[in-house]
Structure 1
């Protein structure tokens, strides 16, 4: 049931992805302002994801999932009603605060109901469910934008409301009252940022820093892809929708079929390194797109990388966590912190030069590989001393 809820959530998100940059641009916004809209959303998630994740350890997963998806509905409605850029910022802040509850809680739910041996496959299926929503959403959003730029937002809000009702009726809570009581005893009441900083003192720091850098590179592409391709090859909202649909298909196949097997055979760390390498290659190739077909193919290569990184990281953190909600919330916080930096940085570089954003994203992706491998080498030497 949680997989279906994530599918509906990403279907709604996917609907607005190809429309949002053009909608914002229609209000006179620059690439940098578009980046700031993405940044303020991610900043709210950075602050609140660890809080919601830790809170789900205390009160259960189901109430937090309902709260988070309600946040999506509220923000989508506000997008559709907005008539100025400042109202979009209000919508992004409200949506960022509430929707931050979804991902750490969903990952913790999967961690609750799977064994360690099945954890990688469970996280992969979670990614595949979200990817399936991304297959259908962008193409649907591109079609719905033909009615108006605002209609896709109201349609996505309706899906979110249906999702909340479905969770309330059908989803079973994964934590027993006894487990929630135990978590209330064990989990401290520090702030979200303190929780994130506290996780830096654990062995999981290697995954958090890597995910932060990967998220910076990913969000630089997310913030600039549509505008970059519009300038380079004349891509519009409908074509962007098809591009993200193909990328979603790649993610579904990769995460639904391959990623669990790769994690079981190679381990989380090797899977992550392969994913980071594919992401860097895809970003570099996007610079050389010369028509719609190449823009779609190169985006798919990039998405192969992200399709490996996130489930492998979630699996590793879930296995190594003392409190899943807290650690996965902190992981989501580092992911969000990358999305705080990436969009504004990418938009700024794009305003300077159309190629600078992707050159910068390639450098950040390579830095993630270097830092991830350097951590292992450092600790291998320390263990040998």
Structure 2
């Protein structure tokens, strides 16, 4: 009951926020299930390390193609219809991957799976911003980010559990990896039922109009820059480098620690799972703090933490060090990500939310397409080599982690030149939004 009462702070739309966060949580459980095991499954189907990168990129290619289209379409026909079709496609394609006879088929199915996610994610994010009071946007996106992080916490643990149980009952290593797709598809189907029964479309300009009414028509729309479109390009660039950095190490993280350092797949899943839990714990309070003191300070603190710990990951060989650096990296991610997402709501006009949020996803996906292909190629190229840096020898497989840290450093620079509202709300509009919330 205490957890349910927490959502009272979102006022008359608390049920919509609670249902959307719950649905996101279920979907992200499923998404997290696959993260540690897709590269290993692709290798079992005959893919080389470079081809694993292509398969990972297939997901983001599909997502990039559909994100802008789906976001724009949701502005016209409503968010619910778009989310229903996207979630249905996600459930079907994920289940089908368990029966892929070769890596080529897996690649095609990953394209469709990515397209499904490209339909759902920007639409759901636009819906969230539609339904929350303006002075709660950062907190709401923090909770939403928590649902992502919890997915990466619980998901890999569920996947590791499915792999372990399948082996225990006599299944082969390959059958154990197949089981993760059935778990993911089942969770997606549950989310689909919740969306159909509980999600209802909401007017994206509701709060702006209500603020005008309560303010006697004297208030201009809040949370907006005078010329927000001038900042879109900078935000797109940040999103691109975020996708590039994430995509660069996704296909090789599991392979690096399984092949180079002889970790078991379950152990890699454990590292990723606890990492998601750390991000989940930090994201909610981080978003709420961003509402009060601004987004930029927390992003400026979070990015260097991500940069340093990502770079160090490639130079460790023990479980404790690998886990420690990855978990510290998650602290930075928890400070950065909810405020980065809330920044969209600060600068994007209500009528353009679906369109711009979709376009943001497209730029992220372009980076996330280039990242896996180039990251896995670089890993393959440097595999077995030794680097000599300032008299110290390092294995070549560490190179992608260093490149990822460099991409994240570019985001650090872009944060400084991005303009955004110094305060999300004026004193007058804070009083009015408090009335709406209560």
Query: TM-score with structure 1 length normalisation?
Result: 0.87
Aligned to 1:336: 365
Match of 2:423?
none
RMSD: 2.1
Aligned counterparts, 1:304-319, within 5 A: 304-319=331-346
Q: How far apart, in 2, do the equivalents of 1:264 and 1:200 lie? A: 19
Q: Pick closer, same or farther for the CA change 1:217–1:176 going to 2, 3 Å.
A: closer
Structure 1 residue 153: Cα displacement: 0.3
Cα distance in structure 2, aligned partners of 1:75 and 1:282: 35
SS at match of 1:355: helix
Residue 33 and residue 174 in structure 1: after superposition, are their counterparts in 2 closer, same or farther (change >3 A)? Answer: same
From 302, 311, 315, the equivalent of 1:284 is 311
> Is residue 296 from structure 1 mapped to residue 323 from structure 2 by the alignment?
yes
How far the C-alpha of 1:201 sits from its partner, in A, is 5.5
Matches of 1:282 and 1:72 in 2, distance apart?
A: 33
Q: Is the 8 A contact 2:231 2:418 kept in 1?
A: no
Work out the CA distance in 2 between the residues paired with 1:263 and 1:57: 27
Equivalent in the alignment of 1:373: 416
Partner residue of 2:186? 158
Partner of 1:185: none
Gaps of 5+ in 1: 180-198, 377-385
Give deviations 1:295-351, integer Å, cap 9, x for gaps. 122112222333333321221111211211111111111111110111111101111
Q: Which residue pairs with 1:362 in the alignment?
A: 405
Partner of 1:193: none
Q: What residue ranges of structure 2 are gaps of 5+ in the alignment?
A: 1-18, 167-175, 208-226, 383-396, 420-438
1:350 paired residue number: 379
- Give the C-alpha shift of residue 30 in structure 1: 1.8
**Residue of structure 2 equivalent to 1:217:** 245
* 8 Å CA contact retained: 1:64, 1:101: yes
Matched residue SS, 1:234:
coil
> 1:380 maps to what in 2?
none
2:355 corresponds to? 326
Aligned counterpart, 1:204: 232
Decide whether aligned partners of structure 1 residues 200 and 83 sit closer, same or farther in structure 2, where only a CA change above 3 A counts: farther
2:32 is the counterpart of 1:5:
no
Aligned equivalent of 1:189: none
Taking the aligned partners of 2:272 and 2:369, their CA distance within structure 1 comes to 22
Return closer, same or farther for 1:75/1:303 CA change in 2, 3 Å cut-off.
Answer: farther
Tell me the CA shift for residue 200 of structure 1: 11
Taking the aligned partners of 2:153 and 2:190, their CA distance within structure 1 comes to 19
Tell me whether 1:136 sits opposite 2:179 in the alignment: no
* Contact residue 139 and residue 287 of structure 2 kept, 8 A: yes
Contact 1:61 1:175 in 2 (8 A): no
| TM-score calculated relative to the size of structure 2 | 0.77
Is residue 215–residue 335 contact of structure 1 (8 Å, CA) maintained in 2? Answer: yes
Q: Is the 8 A contact 1:53 1:328 kept in 2?
A: yes
Asked if the contact 1:53/1:326 (under 8 Å) is kept, the reply is yes
Q: CA deviation at 1:2?
A: 0.5
Work out whether residues 346 and 357 of structure 1, in 8 Å CA contact, stay in contact via their aligned partners in 2: yes
Deviation track 1:95-141 (CA, whole Å, cap 9, x = no partner) reads 12222111111111111111221100000000111222222110110
| Pairs aligned (count) | 356
Tell me by how many angstroms 1:76 deviates. Answer: 0.9
Match of 1:252 in 2: 280
The one of 143, 153, 171 equivalent to 1:125 is: 143
